[in-house]
Structure 1
Amino acid sequence: MAAKKILMICGDYCEDYETMVPFQALLAVGHTVHAVCPDKKAGDHIKTAIHDFEGAQTYSEKPGHNFVLNASFSDIKAESYDALLLPGGRGPEYLRTYPAVVAMVKHFFSSNKPVAAICHAAQLLAGADVLEGRTCSAYPACRTEVERAGGTYADIAIDAAHTEGNLVSAPAWPAHPAWIAQFLALLGTRITH
């Protein structure tokens, strides 16, 4: 397996598990992951939020960990990365207001590079106008954004993932095993036992 260079765009109050787990898992199998946030540099941190499913009509939210960024947003050139990782949570709702972030997301789709998006990351994909004619999973509350952006919402189990072309998407962190496995397949990563 050739190690890949992966860009992870995140922001304050991205979901804790959806930030920490894929970042660590991809590093563990030998990939390079650069975690960045607009207006922040390497060594800065973002605040994360833990979203849990506790029987209410929607998820609950609690403070998560501080996640340390390992690259500076201002230094990033999307062209130098092999793939894009987008965690969910509340970060994507405002990350889509940054023209530089939108341009980066568009680059990965126009270049047909692998993209992994989970939960509310669909808001960023919709804001970047890359869902037209695509099927995308997301947190169920984001169904409207997927459909209004011209996409088809993949209504799958909370622990499932969906791959279509260069995009692997999932509804929320319970899908990590399926979502990360499908992303690794897009990256050409082979793990043998």
Structure 2
Amino acid sequence: MAAKKILMLVGDYVEDYEVMVPFQALQMVGHVVHAVCPDKKVGFIVKTAIHDFEGAQTYSEKPGHNFQLNATFDEIDPKDYDALVIPGGRAPEYIRLNKRVLEIVQHFATENKPIAAICHGIQVLIAADVLKDKSCSAYPAIGSDINCVGGKYVPISVEEAYVDDNLVTAPAWPAHSQWLSKFLDVLGTKITL
């Protein structure tokens, strides 16, 4: 298996587990992962937030870790990458306002390259207008937004992931094992024991 080059779009208050776990896990199996944030350069940090499910009507939020970027947003060319990862948290609500972020997402969708998005990361796909006729999961509060743009929201448990062609989605970080496993399948990554 040849290593894939994967682009990860992040921003301040990205969900801690949803950036840290895939960033490390994808590298662990041999892929190259470049994490970028609009208006930030290699070596800069983004603040993360830890979202948890503690019995309230929605998730709680606590300060997370600082996550260091390993590439510069203004220098990347999406044509150089095989796949895209968009973590959730609060970052998607503002990075989706960046025109270049949307163009990058549209490149991956148009070229039918693998895209993995989790939780609120789907907000970026919605803003990029790439969900028409696609089925996907997301944090449940985003389900109606997916339907409004011509996609189909798939309600699954928080531990599950959903695949539609090149698109791998999940409701939140408890789905990491399923989400990352399905993403590796879409990437063509084989792990033998």
Fold shared by both chains (TM-score > 0.5): yes
What is the correspondence of 1:41-120 to structure 2 with a 5 Å cutoff?
41-120=41-120
* Structure 1 counterpart of 2:23: 23
**Separation in 2, partners of 1:67, 1:154:** 31
Are residues 1:178 and 2:172 paired?
no
Deviations 1:22-64 (A, max 9, x none): 0000000000000000000000000000000000000000000
**Separation in 1, partners of 2:93, 2:149:** 14
**Separation in 2, partners of 1:136, 1:115:** 11
* Structure 2 counterpart of 1:163: 163
Segments of structure 1 that go 5 or more residues without pairing to the other structure are none
* Structure 2 counterpart of 1:136: 136
Q: C-alpha displacement at 1:122, in angstroms?
A: 1.1
Deviations 1:52-100 (A, max 9, x none): 0000000000000000000000101001100000000111111110000
Q: C-alpha displacement at 1:149, in angstroms?
A: 1.3
* Number of matched pairs: 193
**Separation in 2, partners of 1:182, 1:2:** 18
**Separation in 2, partners of 1:45, 1:148:** 34
**Separation in 1, partners of 2:37, 2:165:** 26
TM-score by length of 2: 0.99
**Separation in 2, partners of 1:114, 1:21:** 18
Identity over aligned residues, as a percent?
Answer: 62
**Separation in 1, partners of 2:172, 2:130:** 20
* Structure 2 counterpart of 1:189: 189
The one-letter code sitting in structure 2 at the alignment partner of 1:162 is Y
Deviation above 6 Å: which 4+ runs of structure 1?
none
C-alpha RMSD of the superposition: 0.4
**Separation in 1, partners of 2:71, 2:95:** 17
The one-letter code sitting in structure 1 at the alignment partner of 2:68 is V
Q: C-alpha displacement at 1:148, in angstroms?
A: 1.0
**Separation in 2, partners of 1:47, 1:142:** 23
**Separation in 2, partners of 1:80, 1:114:** 13
Q: C-alpha displacement at 1:177, in angstroms?
A: 0.2
Q: Secondary structure at the match of 1:88?
A: coil
Q: C-alpha displacement at 1:183, in angstroms?
A: 0.3
Is the 8 Å Cα contact of residues 122 and 145 (structure 1) preserved in structure 2?
Answer: no
**Separation in 1, partners of 2:189, 2:116:** 14
TM-score by length of 1: 0.99
